[in-house]
Amino acid sequence: MIRFHGLRQAGVFIWTLIYVINQHIHVSAPTLRRFELDITSTFLNPDCQNSSYPVLLVNNQFPAPTLRVVKGDDVEVIIHNSATTLNVSTSVHFHGIRQYGTVESDGVPEVTQAAIPPGETFIHRFRVVDQSGTYFYHAHVSFQDDTVQGALIVYDDEKSFPNDSHEENHQTLHDGPYQYDGERILQLSEWWHQEFLDREAYYMGKDFIFDKGANSILINGRTVHHDNYNSSLDISTRGDCPGYSVLDVQPNKTYRIRVIGSQSFRTLGLAIGQHKMTIIESDGQLTKPYEVDWLEIGPGQRFSVLIHTGDMKKDTDNLFPISTSYRWRHRSPGGHSENGFAYLRYSAIDQPELQTVFKPVLPERTGIEIAQEHEYPSYTLVNELPAFPRKNLPDWFWRDIAPMNDYNEVELKLLNALPDRVIKLRSTSVKLENNETRYLMNGRMPVVREQHILADLMQGRMSVSMAHLDEDGYAPDRHTFPIKKGEVVDIVLQNTQSGRNCLIHPWHTHGHSHYMIASGLGEYIHTTHGDIRNYPTPILRDVSMVYPSEPDESGGCGWSKIRIYADNPGLWALHCHITSHMVQGKMAVIEESPELINSHKLYKYDTEWAIHPSN
């Protein structure tokens, strides 16, 4: 214990030293931004249904507080697990942050840390190296990310921080070539009328049959459940239902809307009534402007879009519906989700704080009757919502979206290189003999690890040998896919039929952003499809879709090929961002030059590793 404290202090000293050194080297020194997040258990009823369910929240807020940092900052996030009532362990992942030299802060239980038990604290430290844009953070344990989720915005510099005064003073904000008057966050999530622990038990247990959708789609943490429309129309019984989220904006201005796909299950369409959207950012990378009527946004994906507001109109409420649509699954894609609505509102005074409004969205046939019966003055009929295409579009508009800047020499070289390694991950959903359902990756069962891999490594418990990999690149003794620093690695994500369905899967890479370079139907066969490049202008992303296709005779039903450049030694999860799929095993670990982790450490101390020095 004494030794631990000693090392900790030595560490603090080195930490300070790094600053001193950096301050002399760089013109602008990295700023240390410290956040303290307290995870507590409580009850929540975000959709005005008539009961609440136990959840975890961050600082008692939902969505969790927005963290704003600047590119180059050192960030320290102190996580207290105060979820003593529910008595669950937790961990937090900073989605899209590449964690250069700080694999220990990536937040993945069994891989980079042990989940934080109730009553304990974990400290993340990382530097935001060479990336900015829209990110989020969320729990990486079980289904806790239903509610443990908040925006993480990285600005290019401090001047870009939005604040009230710049809107009052009519100062514009900038990002690359883009200018706008203000920005707003639009965070998507899903809400089940079931305890998340029961949902986990269902998915992991033998009664699991198929994925059930959420009961509600939430925008900035709110909606009104459709079962309650009639009763909630009646003000006397509406109680404390605040209604839908509202984004307040001023007329005749340009806004950057940061759309965060922090929903954990469905791929959604998103549109804003009477406003076109110009995409300017995807997963943290600026894009060439690309105008769309609707976004397709899967779990884990983010966009920034610019919208231009029109004039305020007299004698109207100046409310424009924001609507969501289920894409790819369960329901016809043209329709709207039952209640994934919010409103954009023009108001003369700027009110960047999130507001809510009660203006129900009523069914098109009976809506007017319902409103008359309840003497309800203001409502939107479903057929007044922005429309979505009736057909699902494989690859959406991804092939037409290009990075803002032309590729530099290094990027071109990477995009044109032959891969040093190709890893094909074929995942199959299987009902086991004990009737539990799991995803097998290349036919292998998910492993349960007694301790996290980083601890194994740091204790010298495993040595690295690239010589004894299985044919598919898997290290059987380590249960990882080893790669080497400096390699160009292509990862093929192969969909297979699950039951009668072929599903869409959003795949997320930790530790690296990737280029999606190709996609195809059926089964990927390297000798036949190895050279296909049908994404002409790949952008760096951290979540890419594998779109479903008709299955071929092997059961393969669609694939995507992503490319990463191995420049970040560490242990990096690679998983489907549909939480239930990940929990059922749709996940692999990329082990990147573990022997270099120590020499690539950004900070020269770590409370956990200090107990087990490895050098």
> 41 contacts which partner out of Cu ion, ligand NAG, none, CB within 5 to 8 A by kind?
none
CA separation, residue 310 to residues 276, 351, 368 (Å): 11, 17, 28
Residue in 55, 361, 578, 587 binding Cu ion, rule: CB under 5 A = 578
- Asked if 587 interacts with Cu ion (CB under 5 A), we say no
> String of b and e for 575-599 (b: at least 16 CB within 10 Å)?
bbbbbbbbbbbbbbbbbbbbeebee
- Asked if 236 interacts with ligand NAG (CB under 6 A), we say no
3-state secondary structure 503-558: CCEEEEECCCCEEEEEEECCCCCHHHHCCCCCCCCCCEECEEEECCCCCCCCCEEE
Stretch that binds ligand NAG, among 122-130, 365-373, 409-417, 597-605 (CB under 6 A): 365-373
Q: From start to end of 263-419, where are the E strands?
A: 267-272, 277-282, 285-292, 295-297, 302-308, 319-327, 341-346, 355-357, 361-362, 380-381
Q: Minimal distance in Å, beta carbon 57 to ligand NAG?
A: 19
- Asked if 528 interacts with ligand NAG (CB under 6 A), we say no
Cβ atoms 457, 115 nearer than 8 A: no
- Asked if 373 interacts with ligand NAG (CB under 6 A), we say yes
d(CA 65, CA 497): 39
- Asked if 159 interacts with ligand NAG (CB under 6 A), we say yes
Q: Minimal distance in Å, beta carbon 546 to Cu ion?
A: 8
Cβ atoms 538, 519 nearer than 8 A: no
Q: Minimal distance in Å, beta carbon 252 to ligand NAG?
A: 4
- Asked if 435 interacts with ligand NAG (CB under 6 A), we say yes
Cβ atoms 398, 535 nearer than 8 A: yes
- Asked if 31 interacts with ligand NAG (CB under 6 A), we say no
**In 249-366, which ranges are continuous DSSP H helix?**
none
d(CA 102, CA 511): 9
Residue in 323, 545, 581, 584 binding Cu ion, rule: CB under 5 A = 581
- Asked if 534 interacts with ligand NAG (CB under 6 A), we say no
Stretch that binds ligand NAG, among 157-165, 335-343, 517-525, 548-556 (CB under 6 A): 157-165
Strand partners, 121: 80
Residue 551 has, within 13 A of its CA and on its CB side, a CA count of: 14
Q: Minimal distance in Å, beta carbon 575 to Cu ion?
A: 8
| Interface characters, 318-357, with ligand NAG (x: CB under 6 A) | ----------------------------------------
Residue in 22, 41, 231, 598 binding ligand NAG, rule: CB under 6 A = 231
Residue in 40, 82, 194, 230 binding ligand NAG, rule: CB under 6 A = 230
| Interface characters, 47-86, with ligand NAG (x: CB under 6 A) | ---x------------------------------------
- Under rule CB under 5 A, how many of the chain's residues touch Cu ion? 4
**In 125-270, which ranges are continuous DSSP H helix?**
164-168, 196-204, 229-233, 235-238
| Beta strands 587-592; 481-483: pairing state | parallel
End-to-end CA distance of the chain, in Å? 20
Residue in 58, 154, 362, 576 binding Cu ion, rule: CB under 5 A = 576
Calculated CA dihedral for residues 561, 564, 570, 573, nearest 10 degrees: -30
> Helices then strands (H, E): number in the chain?
11, 35
d(CA 563, CA 391): 29
d(CA 287, CA 585): 33
- Under rule CB under 6 A, how many of the chain's residues touch ligand NAG? 20
- Asked if 166 interacts with ligand NAG (CB under 6 A), we say yes
> 576 contacts which partner out of Cu ion, ligand NAG, none, CB within 5 to 8 A by kind?
Cu ion
Stretch that binds ligand NAG, among 132-140, 363-371, 437-445, 457-465 (CB under 6 A): 363-371
The three-point CA angle 534-538-539 to 5° equals: 160
Q: Minimal distance in Å, beta carbon 140 to ligand NAG?
A: 19
- Asked if 574 interacts with Cu ion (CB under 5 A), we say no
Q: Which residues contact 6 (CB under 8 A, 6 or more apart)?
A: none
Residues 181-200 that bind ligand NAG (CB under 6 A): none
> 138 contacts which partner out of ligand NAG, Cu ion, none, CB within 5 to 8 A by kind?
none
Helix (H) / strand (E) element for 178: namely: strand 178-180
d(CA 446, CA 449): 10
Cβ atoms 280, 302 nearer than 8 A: no
- Asked if 87 interacts with ligand NAG (CB under 6 A), we say yes
- Asked if 165 interacts with ligand NAG (CB under 6 A), we say yes
- Asked if 179 interacts with ligand NAG (CB under 6 A), we say no
- Asked if 206 interacts with ligand NAG (CB under 6 A), we say yes
Residues 451-510 that bind Cu ion (CB under 5 A): 505
- Asked if 561 interacts with Cu ion (CB under 5 A), we say no
- Asked if 369 interacts with ligand NAG (CB under 6 A), we say yes
- Asked if 441 interacts with Cu ion (CB under 5 A), we say no
User: Contact positions toward Cu ion, by CB under 5 A?
Assistant: 505, 576, 578, 581
User: Contact positions toward ligand NAG, by CB under 6 A?
Assistant: 50, 87, 159, 163, 165-166, 171, 206, 227-228, 230-231, 252, 311, 366, 369-370, 373, 434-435
